[in-house]
Structure 1
Amino acid sequence: MKKSLLLILTALFLVLAGCGQSATTTSNNAADATDKTATTENTDSKELTTLKVASLPAPMDAILLLVKPLLVEDGINLEIVEMSDNIQPNDALANKEVDANFFQHVPYAEAYNEAKGANIVPVQPVYNALYAGYSKKYKSVDELPDNAIIAIPNDPPNIAHSLLLLEQNDMIELKKGVGIKATLQDITSNPKNYQFKEVDLLTLNRMMDDADLVTMYPAYAKPLGLSAKKDALIVEKDMQAFAITLMAREDNKDDPAIQKLAERMRGPEVKKFLEEEYTDTYPAF
Protein backbone atom coordinates (compact mmCIF):
# COMPACT_ATOMS: atom_id res chain seq x y z
CA MET A 1 0.00 0.00 0.00
CA LYS A 2 2.79 2.36 0.96
CA LYS A 3 4.66 1.37 -2.19
CA SER A 4 1.67 2.23 -4.42
CA LEU A 5 1.24 5.59 -2.69
CA LEU A 6 4.90 6.41 -3.29
CA LEU A 7 4.61 5.59 -6.99
CA ILE A 8 1.53 7.84 -7.35
CA LEU A 9 3.26 10.76 -5.63
CA THR A 10 6.36 10.33 -7.78
CA ALA A 11 4.29 10.33 -10.99
CA LEU A 12 2.38 13.41 -9.86
CA PHE A 13 5.65 15.25 -9.14
CA LEU A 14 7.01 14.47 -12.62
CA VAL A 15 3.82 15.74 -14.27
CA LEU A 16 3.93 18.99 -12.30
CA ALA A 17 7.62 19.45 -13.06
CA GLY A 18 6.92 18.95 -16.77
CA CYS A 19 4.11 21.53 -16.71
CA GLY A 20 6.36 23.99 -14.96
CA GLN A 21 9.09 23.55 -17.55
CA SER A 22 6.58 23.93 -20.35
CA ALA A 23 5.26 27.16 -18.83
CA THR A 24 8.78 28.49 -18.41
CA THR A 25 9.67 27.59 -22.00
CA THR A 26 6.52 29.29 -23.30
CA SER A 27 7.28 32.37 -21.25
CA ASN A 28 10.86 32.47 -22.53
CA ASN A 29 9.72 31.99 -26.12
CA ALA A 30 7.24 34.88 -25.74
CA ALA A 31 9.98 37.09 -24.32
CA ASP A 32 12.29 36.14 -27.19
CA ALA A 33 9.56 37.00 -29.70
CA THR A 34 8.99 40.37 -28.02
CA ASP A 35 12.72 41.12 -28.06
CA LYS A 36 12.93 40.20 -31.75
CA THR A 37 9.97 42.46 -32.57
CA ALA A 38 11.54 45.34 -30.67
CA THR A 39 14.84 44.75 -32.42
CA THR A 40 13.14 44.73 -35.82
CA GLU A 41 11.33 47.98 -35.02
CA ASN A 42 14.56 49.58 -33.88
CA THR A 43 16.30 48.38 -37.01
CA ASP A 44 13.52 49.81 -39.18
CA SER A 45 13.80 53.22 -37.52
CA LYS A 46 17.57 53.19 -37.84
CA GLU A 47 17.31 52.49 -41.56
CA LEU A 48 16.16 56.08 -42.18
CA THR A 49 19.26 57.99 -43.23
CA THR A 50 19.14 61.69 -42.35
CA LEU A 51 20.19 63.98 -45.19
CA LYS A 52 20.65 67.68 -44.36
CA VAL A 53 20.17 70.13 -47.22
CA ALA A 54 20.60 73.90 -46.94
CA SER A 55 18.25 76.05 -49.00
CA LEU A 56 16.62 79.44 -49.47
CA PRO A 57 12.89 80.32 -49.68
CA ALA A 58 10.55 79.23 -52.48
CA PRO A 59 10.70 77.74 -54.91
CA MET A 60 13.86 76.04 -53.63
CA ASP A 61 12.51 74.96 -50.25
CA ALA A 62 9.11 74.21 -51.81
CA ILE A 63 10.71 71.67 -54.14
CA LEU A 64 12.53 70.05 -51.23
CA LEU A 65 9.29 69.89 -49.23
CA LEU A 66 7.65 68.23 -52.22
CA VAL A 67 10.20 65.41 -52.40
CA LYS A 68 10.59 64.99 -48.62
CA PRO A 69 7.75 62.43 -48.19
CA LEU A 70 8.87 60.60 -51.34
CA LEU A 71 12.33 60.14 -49.85
CA VAL A 72 10.89 58.42 -46.78
CA GLU A 73 9.96 55.59 -49.14
CA ASP A 74 13.66 55.43 -50.02
CA GLY A 75 14.71 55.24 -46.37
CA ILE A 76 15.81 58.87 -46.21
CA ASN A 77 14.80 61.56 -43.73
CA LEU A 78 15.30 64.87 -45.52
CA GLU A 79 16.14 67.69 -43.10
CA ILE A 80 15.71 71.08 -44.78
CA VAL A 81 17.86 73.84 -43.32
CA GLU A 82 16.48 77.16 -44.57
CA MET A 83 19.01 79.99 -44.46
CA SER A 84 18.68 83.74 -44.66
CA ASP A 85 21.33 84.76 -47.19
CA ASN A 86 23.15 83.40 -50.22
CA ILE A 87 26.50 82.88 -48.45
CA GLN A 88 25.48 80.64 -45.55
CA PRO A 89 24.40 77.62 -47.63
CA ASN A 90 27.83 77.28 -49.25
CA ASP A 91 29.68 77.90 -45.99
CA ALA A 92 27.59 75.21 -44.31
CA LEU A 93 28.24 72.75 -47.12
CA ALA A 94 31.97 73.44 -47.30
CA ASN A 95 32.25 73.07 -43.51
CA LYS A 96 30.31 69.76 -43.61
CA GLU A 97 27.48 71.13 -41.49
CA VAL A 98 25.06 70.00 -44.21
CA ASP A 99 25.31 67.30 -46.86
CA ALA A 100 24.11 69.33 -49.84
CA ASN A 101 22.53 72.63 -50.79
CA PHE A 102 19.97 73.82 -53.30
CA PHE A 103 19.81 77.51 -54.17
CA GLN A 104 22.43 78.40 -56.80
CA HIS A 105 23.68 77.92 -60.33
CA VAL A 106 27.05 76.49 -61.34
CA PRO A 107 28.81 79.84 -62.04
CA TYR A 108 27.92 81.00 -58.51
CA ALA A 109 29.33 77.79 -56.98
CA GLU A 110 32.49 78.08 -59.05
CA ALA A 111 33.03 81.67 -57.91
CA TYR A 112 32.63 80.54 -54.28
CA ASN A 113 35.12 77.71 -54.78
CA GLU A 114 37.65 80.08 -56.25
CA ALA A 115 37.25 82.59 -53.43
CA LYS A 116 37.18 80.11 -50.55
CA GLY A 117 39.26 77.19 -51.83
CA ALA A 118 36.21 74.94 -51.53
CA ASN A 119 35.19 72.01 -53.73
CA ILE A 120 31.43 72.31 -54.18
CA VAL A 121 30.23 70.44 -57.26
CA PRO A 122 26.96 70.13 -59.21
CA VAL A 123 24.86 67.01 -58.76
CA GLN A 124 21.57 67.72 -60.55
CA PRO A 125 20.31 70.76 -62.49
CA VAL A 126 16.68 71.20 -61.46
CA TYR A 127 15.15 74.30 -63.06
CA ASN A 128 15.85 77.40 -65.08
CA ALA A 129 14.38 80.58 -63.68
CA LEU A 130 13.51 83.33 -66.16
CA TYR A 131 15.88 86.16 -65.30
CA ALA A 132 14.22 89.43 -66.21
CA GLY A 133 14.24 93.21 -65.86
CA TYR A 134 11.33 95.01 -64.17
CA SER A 135 10.37 98.64 -63.81
CA LYS A 136 7.81 100.49 -61.73
CA LYS A 137 8.25 103.65 -63.78
CA TYR A 138 8.30 102.53 -67.41
CA LYS A 139 6.32 100.20 -69.65
CA SER A 140 9.03 99.38 -72.19
CA VAL A 141 12.80 99.47 -72.59
CA ASP A 142 12.45 102.19 -75.19
CA GLU A 143 11.08 104.51 -72.50
CA LEU A 144 14.20 104.21 -70.33
CA PRO A 145 15.94 107.60 -70.34
CA ASP A 146 19.61 108.31 -70.81
CA ASN A 147 21.58 107.65 -67.61
CA ALA A 148 18.81 105.37 -66.33
CA ILE A 149 19.74 103.53 -63.15
CA ILE A 150 19.76 99.73 -63.52
CA ALA A 151 19.94 97.72 -60.28
CA ILE A 152 21.81 94.41 -60.60
CA PRO A 153 23.11 91.82 -58.09
CA ASN A 154 26.52 92.56 -56.58
CA ASP A 155 28.12 89.10 -56.92
CA PRO A 156 30.28 88.42 -60.02
CA PRO A 157 28.29 85.52 -61.54
CA ASN A 158 25.00 87.41 -61.33
CA ILE A 159 26.61 90.62 -62.57
CA ALA A 160 27.54 88.59 -65.64
CA HIS A 161 24.02 87.17 -65.82
CA SER A 162 22.56 90.68 -65.76
CA LEU A 163 24.93 91.99 -68.43
CA LEU A 164 24.15 89.03 -70.69
CA LEU A 165 20.44 89.72 -70.18
CA LEU A 166 20.94 93.35 -71.27
CA GLU A 167 23.08 92.35 -74.23
CA GLN A 168 20.53 89.80 -75.40
CA ASN A 169 17.97 92.60 -75.45
CA ASP A 170 20.24 94.98 -77.41
CA MET A 171 20.73 97.45 -74.56
CA ILE A 172 24.53 97.11 -74.33
CA GLU A 173 27.37 95.29 -76.06
CA LEU A 174 30.03 93.20 -74.36
CA LYS A 175 33.55 92.24 -75.31
CA LYS A 176 33.44 89.15 -77.47
CA GLY A 177 33.89 85.83 -75.71
CA VAL A 178 33.49 87.01 -72.10
CA GLY A 179 30.26 85.04 -71.65
CA ILE A 180 29.41 84.11 -68.05
CA LYS A 181 32.60 85.84 -66.85
CA ALA A 182 31.45 89.27 -68.02
CA THR A 183 32.11 92.29 -65.80
CA LEU A 184 31.12 95.94 -66.02
CA GLN A 185 34.56 96.62 -67.48
CA ASP A 186 33.69 94.36 -70.42
CA ILE A 187 30.94 96.70 -71.69
CA THR A 188 32.07 97.99 -75.09
CA SER A 189 28.91 99.88 -76.02
CA ASN A 190 26.39 101.62 -73.76
CA PRO A 191 24.50 104.09 -76.01
CA LYS A 192 22.19 105.42 -73.28
CA ASN A 193 24.94 105.55 -70.67
CA TYR A 194 23.05 103.33 -68.24
CA GLN A 195 24.24 103.62 -64.65
CA PHE A 196 24.61 100.36 -62.72
CA LYS A 197 23.85 100.02 -59.03
CA GLU A 198 25.11 96.78 -57.48
CA VAL A 199 22.87 95.45 -54.70
CA ASP A 200 22.75 92.25 -52.65
CA LEU A 201 20.75 89.64 -54.52
CA LEU A 202 18.25 89.17 -51.68
CA THR A 203 17.39 92.86 -51.46
CA LEU A 204 17.05 93.67 -55.17
CA ASN A 205 13.25 93.78 -55.01
CA ARG A 206 13.49 96.68 -52.58
CA MET A 207 15.05 98.76 -55.37
CA MET A 208 11.85 98.97 -57.42
CA ASP A 209 11.07 102.48 -56.09
CA ASP A 210 14.58 103.84 -56.56
CA ALA A 211 15.93 102.30 -59.77
CA ASP A 212 14.61 102.63 -63.32
CA LEU A 213 15.12 98.93 -64.04
CA VAL A 214 15.79 96.02 -61.67
CA THR A 215 17.07 92.61 -62.79
CA MET A 216 15.65 89.77 -60.69
CA TYR A 217 14.96 86.06 -60.51
CA PRO A 218 11.33 84.91 -60.19
CA ALA A 219 11.86 83.98 -56.52
CA TYR A 220 12.30 87.68 -55.70
CA ALA A 221 9.84 89.09 -58.24
CA LYS A 222 6.93 86.83 -57.30
CA PRO A 223 6.45 88.28 -53.76
CA LEU A 224 5.91 91.64 -55.48
CA GLY A 225 3.21 90.13 -57.66
CA LEU A 226 5.46 90.30 -60.73
CA SER A 227 5.80 87.70 -63.46
CA ALA A 228 8.58 87.59 -66.05
CA LYS A 229 6.15 86.52 -68.75
CA LYS A 230 3.59 89.21 -67.98
CA ASP A 231 5.33 92.17 -66.36
CA ALA A 232 9.00 92.25 -67.34
CA LEU A 233 10.42 94.76 -69.78
CA ILE A 234 13.14 92.30 -70.79
CA VAL A 235 13.44 88.54 -70.33
CA GLU A 236 16.49 86.37 -70.84
CA LYS A 237 16.72 83.99 -73.73
CA ASP A 238 17.78 80.41 -73.02
CA MET A 239 20.81 80.37 -70.67
CA GLN A 240 21.26 76.82 -69.41
CA ALA A 241 24.49 77.75 -67.63
CA PHE A 242 22.42 79.43 -64.92
CA ALA A 243 20.12 76.51 -64.06
CA ILE A 244 19.42 76.24 -60.31
CA THR A 245 21.24 73.08 -59.26
CA LEU A 246 21.48 70.62 -56.38
CA MET A 247 25.06 70.82 -55.08
CA ALA A 248 27.24 68.62 -52.90
CA ARG A 249 30.95 68.31 -52.16
CA GLU A 250 33.43 66.36 -54.24
CA ASP A 251 33.87 63.91 -51.36
CA ASN A 252 30.16 63.04 -50.98
CA LYS A 253 28.54 63.72 -54.38
CA ASP A 254 28.25 59.97 -55.09
CA ASP A 255 26.67 59.14 -51.73
CA PRO A 256 23.60 56.93 -52.35
CA ALA A 257 21.31 59.22 -50.34
CA ILE A 258 22.36 62.29 -52.35
CA GLN A 259 21.95 60.40 -55.61
CA LYS A 260 18.47 59.31 -54.52
CA LEU A 261 17.61 62.95 -53.73
CA ALA A 262 18.84 63.94 -57.20
CA GLU A 263 16.62 61.24 -58.71
CA ARG A 264 13.56 62.51 -56.86
CA MET A 265 14.32 66.11 -57.83
CA ARG A 266 14.22 65.24 -61.51
CA GLY A 267 11.04 63.23 -61.08
CA PRO A 268 7.59 63.84 -62.59
CA GLU A 269 6.26 65.40 -59.37
CA VAL A 270 8.83 68.21 -59.54
CA LYS A 271 8.30 68.71 -63.27
CA LYS A 272 4.55 69.09 -62.75
CA PHE A 273 5.06 71.43 -59.78
CA LEU A 274 7.33 73.76 -61.76
CA GLU A 275 5.05 73.83 -64.78
CA GLU A 276 1.88 74.49 -62.76
CA GLU A 277 2.99 76.50 -59.73
CA TYR A 278 6.01 78.45 -60.96
CA THR A 279 5.29 79.44 -64.53
CA ASP A 280 8.39 81.68 -64.70
CA THR A 281 10.56 78.58 -64.38
CA TYR A 282 11.00 75.49 -66.51
CA PRO A 283 12.64 72.12 -65.76
CA ALA A 284 16.34 71.75 -66.51
CA PHE A 285 16.20 67.94 -66.66
Structure 2
Amino acid sequence: MNRKIMMMLVVVLMLVAAGCGNNEKQAEESKNTPTTSEETTLKVASLIPPMTEVLELVKPLLKEDGINLEIVVLSDNVQPNNALANKEVDANFFQHVPYMNQYNEANKSELVGVQPIYNAVYGAYSKTYKNIEDLPEGATIAIANDPSNIGRSLVMFEKNGLIKLKEGVGINATQADITENVKKFKFKEVDLLMLARTLDDVDLVAMTPAYAKPLNLTPKKDALITEGDDSDFVITLVARKDNVDSEPIQKLAKRMTSPEVKKFFEDNYGEIAVPAFK
Protein backbone atom coordinates (compact mmCIF):
# COMPACT_ATOMS: atom_id res chain seq x y z
CA MET A 1 0.00 0.00 0.00
CA ASN A 2 2.79 2.42 0.96
CA ARG A 3 4.60 1.55 -2.23
CA LYS A 4 1.57 2.44 -4.39
CA ILE A 5 1.18 5.76 -2.61
CA MET A 6 4.84 6.54 -3.16
CA MET A 7 4.58 5.76 -6.86
CA MET A 8 1.52 7.98 -7.19
CA LEU A 9 3.35 10.84 -5.48
CA VAL A 10 6.31 10.44 -7.84
CA VAL A 11 3.99 10.57 -10.88
CA VAL A 12 2.24 13.71 -9.56
CA LEU A 13 5.57 15.43 -8.94
CA MET A 14 6.73 14.58 -12.46
CA LEU A 15 3.54 15.99 -13.98
CA VAL A 16 3.88 19.18 -11.95
CA ALA A 17 7.49 19.58 -13.01
CA ALA A 18 6.57 18.99 -16.65
CA GLY A 19 3.80 21.55 -16.38
CA CYS A 20 6.17 24.15 -14.98
CA GLY A 21 8.62 23.46 -17.77
CA ASN A 22 5.92 23.90 -20.39
CA ASN A 23 4.77 27.17 -18.79
CA GLU A 24 8.31 28.52 -18.82
CA LYS A 25 8.72 27.44 -22.44
CA GLN A 26 5.40 29.06 -23.44
CA ALA A 27 6.32 32.26 -21.62
CA GLU A 28 9.67 32.37 -23.40
CA GLU A 29 8.05 31.71 -26.78
CA SER A 30 5.40 34.38 -26.25
CA LYS A 31 8.10 36.84 -25.28
CA ASN A 32 9.96 36.21 -28.52
CA THR A 33 6.85 36.20 -30.74
CA PRO A 34 5.92 39.64 -32.14
CA THR A 35 2.42 40.77 -31.24
CA THR A 36 -0.03 41.66 -33.99
CA SER A 37 -1.25 44.70 -32.04
CA GLU A 38 2.02 46.67 -32.25
CA GLU A 39 1.59 50.36 -33.07
CA THR A 40 2.49 51.69 -36.51
CA THR A 41 4.22 55.07 -36.55
CA LEU A 42 3.06 57.42 -39.30
CA LYS A 43 5.08 60.59 -39.95
CA VAL A 44 3.20 63.50 -41.54
CA ALA A 45 4.85 66.81 -42.48
CA SER A 46 2.97 70.09 -42.22
CA LEU A 47 3.53 73.83 -41.80
CA ILE A 48 0.99 75.97 -39.98
CA PRO A 49 -2.58 76.02 -38.59
CA PRO A 50 -5.18 74.91 -39.43
CA MET A 51 -3.29 72.03 -41.05
CA THR A 52 -1.28 71.26 -37.91
CA GLU A 53 -4.40 71.62 -35.76
CA VAL A 54 -6.29 69.05 -37.84
CA LEU A 55 -3.43 66.60 -37.42
CA GLU A 56 -3.36 67.20 -33.66
CA LEU A 57 -7.10 66.59 -33.56
CA VAL A 58 -6.91 63.21 -35.30
CA LYS A 59 -3.81 62.04 -33.40
CA PRO A 60 -5.74 60.48 -30.47
CA LEU A 61 -8.33 59.05 -32.88
CA LEU A 62 -5.57 57.25 -34.79
CA LYS A 63 -4.29 55.80 -31.50
CA GLU A 64 -7.53 53.81 -31.43
CA ASP A 65 -6.54 52.42 -34.86
CA GLY A 66 -3.11 51.34 -33.60
CA ILE A 67 -1.34 54.25 -35.32
CA ASN A 68 1.08 56.61 -33.62
CA LEU A 69 0.90 59.87 -35.58
CA GLU A 70 4.13 61.87 -35.55
CA ILE A 71 3.60 65.44 -36.77
CA VAL A 72 6.69 66.98 -38.37
CA VAL A 73 6.39 70.78 -38.54
CA LEU A 74 8.70 72.29 -41.16
CA SER A 75 9.62 75.88 -41.93
CA ASP A 76 8.98 76.43 -45.65
CA ASN A 77 6.72 75.21 -48.42
CA VAL A 78 9.38 73.09 -50.18
CA GLN A 79 10.62 70.94 -47.30
CA PRO A 80 7.39 68.93 -46.81
CA ASN A 81 7.50 67.67 -50.40
CA ASN A 82 11.25 67.02 -50.28
CA ALA A 83 10.80 65.04 -47.08
CA LEU A 84 7.95 63.01 -48.58
CA ALA A 85 9.73 62.32 -51.87
CA ASN A 86 12.86 61.22 -49.94
CA LYS A 87 10.77 58.91 -47.70
CA GLU A 88 11.66 60.86 -44.56
CA VAL A 89 7.93 61.16 -43.88
CA ASP A 90 4.95 59.09 -44.99
CA ALA A 91 2.60 61.92 -46.03
CA ASN A 92 2.20 65.67 -45.89
CA PHE A 93 -0.67 68.07 -45.39
CA PHE A 94 -0.14 71.67 -46.50
CA GLN A 95 -0.74 72.04 -50.24
CA HIS A 96 -3.18 71.96 -53.10
CA VAL A 97 -2.89 69.58 -56.05
CA PRO A 98 -1.68 72.16 -58.63
CA TYR A 99 1.28 72.91 -56.35
CA MET A 100 1.94 69.17 -55.92
CA ASN A 101 1.83 68.65 -59.70
CA GLN A 102 4.27 71.49 -60.19
CA TYR A 103 6.65 69.86 -57.69
CA ASN A 104 6.33 66.46 -59.39
CA GLU A 105 7.11 67.94 -62.77
CA ALA A 106 10.14 69.85 -61.51
CA ASN A 107 11.56 66.98 -59.45
CA LYS A 108 10.40 63.87 -61.36
CA SER A 109 8.76 62.63 -58.17
CA GLU A 110 5.56 60.63 -57.73
CA LEU A 111 3.57 62.40 -55.04
CA VAL A 112 -0.13 61.56 -55.09
CA GLY A 113 -3.20 63.30 -53.71
CA VAL A 114 -4.93 61.06 -51.17
CA GLN A 115 -7.93 63.05 -49.95
CA PRO A 116 -9.15 66.66 -50.40
CA ILE A 117 -9.69 68.13 -46.93
CA TYR A 118 -10.76 71.78 -47.15
CA ASN A 119 -11.16 74.79 -49.41
CA ALA A 120 -9.24 77.78 -48.10
CA VAL A 121 -10.97 80.96 -49.29
CA TYR A 122 -8.32 82.87 -51.25
CA GLY A 123 -8.51 86.65 -51.13
CA ALA A 124 -6.69 89.95 -51.53
CA TYR A 125 -6.15 92.29 -48.57
CA SER A 126 -5.07 95.89 -48.13
CA LYS A 127 -4.06 97.92 -45.09
CA THR A 128 -4.72 101.19 -46.93
CA TYR A 129 -7.82 100.68 -49.09
CA LYS A 130 -11.33 99.48 -48.23
CA ASN A 131 -12.65 98.86 -51.75
CA ILE A 132 -10.97 97.38 -54.80
CA GLU A 133 -12.13 100.38 -56.86
CA ASP A 134 -9.97 102.64 -54.66
CA LEU A 135 -6.76 100.92 -55.71
CA PRO A 136 -4.74 103.65 -57.49
CA GLU A 137 -3.02 103.48 -60.84
CA GLY A 138 0.38 101.84 -60.54
CA ALA A 139 -0.51 100.13 -57.25
CA THR A 140 1.84 97.35 -56.12
CA ILE A 141 0.20 93.95 -55.58
CA ALA A 142 2.09 91.15 -53.77
CA ILE A 143 1.49 87.56 -54.89
CA ALA A 144 3.19 84.24 -54.05
CA ASN A 145 6.17 83.47 -56.26
CA ASP A 146 5.54 79.78 -57.04
CA PRO A 147 3.96 79.08 -60.46
CA SER A 148 0.70 77.54 -59.19
CA ASN A 149 -0.06 80.47 -56.88
CA ILE A 150 0.99 83.04 -59.47
CA GLY A 151 -1.63 81.59 -61.79
CA ARG A 152 -4.18 81.37 -58.99
CA SER A 153 -3.70 85.04 -58.10
CA LEU A 154 -3.85 86.30 -61.67
CA VAL A 155 -7.02 84.32 -62.40
CA MET A 156 -8.64 85.83 -59.29
CA PHE A 157 -7.68 89.33 -60.44
CA GLU A 158 -9.05 88.66 -63.92
CA LYS A 159 -12.36 87.36 -62.53
CA ASN A 160 -12.66 90.55 -60.51
CA GLY A 161 -11.92 92.86 -63.45
CA LEU A 162 -8.44 94.10 -62.55
CA ILE A 163 -6.65 92.60 -65.55
CA LYS A 164 -7.20 90.43 -68.62
CA LEU A 165 -5.22 87.28 -69.44
CA LYS A 166 -4.39 85.49 -72.66
CA GLU A 167 -7.31 83.26 -73.54
CA GLY A 168 -7.09 79.69 -72.26
CA VAL A 169 -4.06 80.03 -69.96
CA GLY A 170 -6.13 79.55 -66.79
CA ILE A 171 -4.21 78.67 -63.64
CA ASN A 172 -0.99 78.28 -65.65
CA ALA A 173 -0.92 82.03 -66.23
CA THR A 174 2.20 84.10 -65.64
CA GLN A 175 2.70 87.87 -65.76
CA ALA A 176 3.72 87.44 -69.40
CA ASP A 177 0.13 86.34 -70.12
CA ILE A 178 -1.41 89.64 -68.98
CA THR A 179 -2.93 91.20 -72.10
CA GLU A 180 -4.68 94.13 -70.45
CA ASN A 181 -3.69 96.08 -67.34
CA VAL A 182 -5.48 99.40 -67.63
CA LYS A 183 -4.38 100.75 -64.24
CA LYS A 184 -0.78 99.57 -64.73
CA PHE A 185 -0.69 97.48 -61.56
CA LYS A 186 2.74 96.17 -60.57
CA PHE A 187 2.84 92.55 -59.41
CA LYS A 188 5.52 91.74 -56.85
CA GLU A 189 6.28 88.01 -56.50
CA VAL A 190 7.43 87.03 -53.00
CA ASP A 191 7.91 83.82 -51.03
CA LEU A 192 4.64 82.31 -49.85
CA LEU A 193 5.62 82.48 -46.18
CA MET A 194 6.59 86.16 -46.52
CA LEU A 195 3.29 87.37 -47.98
CA ALA A 196 1.74 88.50 -44.70
CA ARG A 197 4.83 90.55 -43.86
CA THR A 198 4.46 92.60 -47.05
CA LEU A 199 1.07 94.01 -46.02
CA ASP A 200 2.65 97.20 -44.67
CA ASP A 201 4.76 97.77 -47.78
CA VAL A 202 2.41 97.17 -50.71
CA ASP A 203 -1.10 98.22 -51.71
CA LEU A 204 -2.67 94.76 -51.95
CA VAL A 205 -1.66 91.21 -50.95
CA ALA A 206 -3.18 87.99 -52.32
CA MET A 207 -3.03 85.13 -49.82
CA THR A 208 -4.81 82.19 -48.27
CA PRO A 209 -6.63 82.57 -44.93
CA ALA A 210 -3.93 80.53 -43.18
CA TYR A 211 -1.62 83.53 -43.61
CA ALA A 212 -4.29 86.19 -43.21
CA LYS A 213 -5.77 84.91 -39.95
CA PRO A 214 -2.68 85.66 -37.79
CA LEU A 215 -3.19 89.28 -38.89
CA ASN A 216 -6.85 89.05 -37.70
CA LEU A 217 -8.05 89.19 -41.31
CA THR A 218 -10.76 86.96 -42.77
CA PRO A 219 -11.92 86.74 -46.39
CA LYS A 220 -15.61 87.40 -45.68
CA LYS A 221 -14.94 90.43 -43.50
CA ASP A 222 -11.71 91.95 -44.79
CA ALA A 223 -10.83 90.77 -48.31
CA LEU A 224 -11.36 93.33 -51.06
CA ILE A 225 -11.89 90.43 -53.52
CA THR A 226 -12.00 86.61 -53.32
CA GLU A 227 -11.63 83.87 -55.93
CA GLY A 228 -15.13 82.37 -55.61
CA ASP A 229 -16.41 78.87 -54.87
CA ASP A 230 -15.08 77.08 -57.98
CA SER A 231 -11.47 76.82 -56.81
CA ASP A 232 -9.10 74.10 -58.04
CA PHE A 233 -6.93 74.68 -54.99
CA VAL A 234 -8.30 72.39 -52.27
CA ILE A 235 -5.85 71.71 -49.42
CA THR A 236 -5.18 67.97 -49.74
CA LEU A 237 -3.57 65.10 -47.83
CA VAL A 238 -0.68 63.91 -50.03
CA ALA A 239 1.32 60.64 -50.02
CA ARG A 240 3.53 58.80 -52.50
CA LYS A 241 2.59 56.42 -55.30
CA ASP A 242 4.24 53.56 -53.39
CA ASN A 243 2.28 54.04 -50.15
CA VAL A 244 -0.96 55.82 -51.07
CA ASP A 245 -3.02 52.63 -50.79
CA SER A 246 -1.42 51.42 -47.55
CA GLU A 247 -3.69 50.78 -44.58
CA PRO A 248 -2.16 53.48 -42.30
CA ILE A 249 -2.50 56.19 -44.98
CA GLN A 250 -6.09 55.19 -45.70
CA LYS A 251 -6.91 55.20 -41.97
CA LEU A 252 -5.41 58.68 -41.71
CA ALA A 253 -7.53 59.89 -44.63
CA LYS A 254 -10.65 58.43 -43.00
CA ARG A 255 -9.95 60.15 -39.68
CA MET A 256 -9.22 63.46 -41.43
CA THR A 257 -12.68 63.36 -43.04
CA SER A 258 -14.46 62.44 -39.82
CA PRO A 259 -17.36 64.34 -38.19
CA GLU A 260 -14.88 65.60 -35.58
CA VAL A 261 -12.78 67.35 -38.24
CA LYS A 262 -15.85 68.78 -39.98
CA LYS A 263 -17.08 70.23 -36.67
CA PHE A 264 -13.60 71.62 -35.97
CA PHE A 265 -13.71 73.63 -39.21
CA GLU A 266 -17.27 74.80 -38.57
CA ASP A 267 -16.49 75.90 -35.00
CA ASN A 268 -13.06 77.47 -35.57
CA TYR A 269 -12.66 78.36 -39.24
CA GLY A 270 -16.20 78.79 -40.51
CA GLU A 271 -15.42 82.09 -42.26
CA ILE A 272 -12.24 81.02 -43.97
CA ALA A 273 -12.29 77.27 -44.63
CA VAL A 274 -14.95 74.99 -46.08
CA PRO A 275 -14.63 71.18 -45.66
CA ALA A 276 -14.18 69.45 -49.03
CA PHE A 277 -15.87 66.26 -47.83
CA LYS A 278 -19.39 65.37 -46.71
Task: Name the TM-score class by shorter chain.
Answer: over 0.9
Does 1:149 find its partner at 2:140?
Answer: yes
* 3-state SS, counterpart of residue 98 of structure 1: coil
State the Cα deviation string for residues 123-156 of structure 1 (Å, max 9, x = none): 1111000011111111111111111110100000
Q: Distance in 2 between matches of 1:53 and 1:223?
A: 23
Native 8 Å contact 2:143 2:188 kept in 1: yes
Q: Distance in 1 between matches of 2:214 and 2:30?
A: 51
Mapping of residues 156-235 of structure 1, within 5 Å: 156-235=147-226
Equivalent residue number for residue 56 of structure 1: 47
Please report how far the alpha carbon of residue 19 of structure 1 lies from its aligned counterpart in structure 2 after TM superposition: 4.4
Q: Which amino acid aligns with 2:235?
A: I
Mapping of residues 20-59 of structure 1, within 5 Å: 20-28=13-21, 30-31=23-24, 34=27, 43-46=35-38, 48-59=39-50
Please report how far the alpha carbon of residue 18 of structure 1 lies from its aligned counterpart in structure 2 after TM superposition: 3.6
Equivalent residue number for residue 119 of structure 2: 128
Q: Distance in 2 between matches of 1:251 and 1:129?
A: 28
Native 8 Å contact 2:37 2:66 kept in 1: no
Q: Which amino acid aligns with 1:284?
A: A
Figure out how many residues of one structure are paired with residues of the other and give that number: 276
Please report how far the alpha carbon of residue 24 of structure 1 lies from its aligned counterpart in structure 2 after TM superposition: 2.2
Please report how far the alpha carbon of residue 26 of structure 1 lies from its aligned counterpart in structure 2 after TM superposition: 4.8
Does 1:237 find its partner at 2:228?
Answer: yes
State the Cα deviation string for residues 221-244 of structure 1 (Å, max 9, x = none): 111111111111111102331000
Q: Distance in 2 between matches of 1:275 and 1:175?
A: 38
Equivalent residue number for residue 67 of structure 1: 58
Q: Which amino acid aligns with 2:193?
A: L
Structure 1 residue runs without a partner (length 5+): 1-6
Native 8 Å contact 2:104 2:111 kept in 1: yes
Please report how far the alpha carbon of residue 219 of structure 1 lies from its aligned counterpart in structure 2 after TM superposition: 0.9
Greater helix percent: which structure?
A: 1
Please report how far the alpha carbon of residue 38 of structure 1 lies from its aligned counterpart in structure 2 after TM superposition: 5.1
Q: Distance in 2 between matches of 1:199 and 1:278?
A: 26
Does 1:100 find its partner at 2:91?
Answer: yes
* 3-state SS, counterpart of residue 260 of structure 1: helix
- TM-score, normalised relative to structure 2: 0.92
Q: Distance in 2 between matches of 1:176 and 1:22?
A: 91
Native 8 Å contact 2:124 2:204 kept in 1: yes
* 3-state SS, counterpart of residue 124 of structure 1: strand
- TM-score, normalised relative to structure 1: 0.90
Equivalent residue number for residue 4 of structure 1: none
Structure 2 residue runs without a partner (length 5+): none
State the Cα deviation string for residues 22-50 of structure 1 (Å, max 9, x = none): 4424534554665577578x51552x222
Q: Which amino acid aligns with 1:281?
A: A
Q: Distance in 1 between matches of 2:219 and 2:178?
A: 25
Please report how far the alpha carbon of residue 190 of structure 1 lies from its aligned counterpart in structure 2 after TM superposition: 1.1
User: What is the aligned-residue RMSD (CA, Å)?
Assistant: 1.9
Q: Distance in 2 between matches of 1:127 and 1:50?
A: 25
| Worse-superposed segment, 191-200 or 245-254 | 245-254
Q: Distance in 2 between matches of 1:153 and 1:74?
A: 38
